[in-house]
C-alpha cells in the first residue's frame, strides 16, 4: 500500500505546478487549466485522507468539488469566449483596462 505521504507529496507538487501555471502563463485557457490542476490536487489530497482515515466524508467532498469545477468551467469558458469576441485575444496581459 502506498503511504499517505506519497499521495500528499504528489498533491502538493500538482498544486504548485498549478499555481506557477496561473502566475506565469499568459493564455487564459492555460491559466484555466492550471486552476483545474489545483482543484484536482486538492481532490487527490481529499481522497488520500479519506482512505487513510477510513471515512467517506473526503470522497463526498471530492464530488462537490468536481461539480463546482464543472460549473466554473462552464462560466469561465463563456467569459473567455466573450472576451475573445470583444478583444480578439485570450492573452491576459493585453487585457488591462483596470489599470489605475
Using CB under 8 A, list all residues that contact other proteins. Answer: 19, 22-24, 26, 31, 92-93, 95-100
> Please, what is the minimum distance in Å from the beta carbon of residue 2 to other proteins?
25
Measured from the CB atom, the residue of 88 and 93 that comes closer to other proteins is: 93
> Please, what is the minimum distance in Å from the beta carbon of residue 1 to other proteins?
28
> Please, what is the minimum distance in Å from the beta carbon of residue 78 to other proteins?
17
State the Cα–Cα distance between residues 66 and 68, nearest whole angstrom: 5
CA angle 50, 52, 57 (to 5 degrees): 20
25: left (phi over 0), alpha (psi -120 to 50) or beta: beta
Amino acid at each position: 500500500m502506498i503511504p499517505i505521504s506519497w499521495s500528499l507529496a504528489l498533491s502538493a507538487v500538482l498544486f504548485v505546478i498549478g499555481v506557477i501555471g496561473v502566475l506565469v502563463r499568459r493564455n487564459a485557457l492555460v491559466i484555466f487549466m492550471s486552476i483545474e490542476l489545483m482543484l484536482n490536487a486538492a481532490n487527490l489530497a481529499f481522497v488520500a485522507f479519506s482512505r487513510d482515515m477510513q471515512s467517506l466524508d473526503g470522497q463526498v467532498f471530492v464530488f462537490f468539488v468536481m461539480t463546482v469545477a464543472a460549473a466554473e468551467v462552464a462560466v469561465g469558458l463563456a467569459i473567455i469566449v466573450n472576451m475573445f469576441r470583444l478583444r480578439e485575444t485570450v492573452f491576459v496581459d493585453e487585457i488591462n483596462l483596470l489599470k489605475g
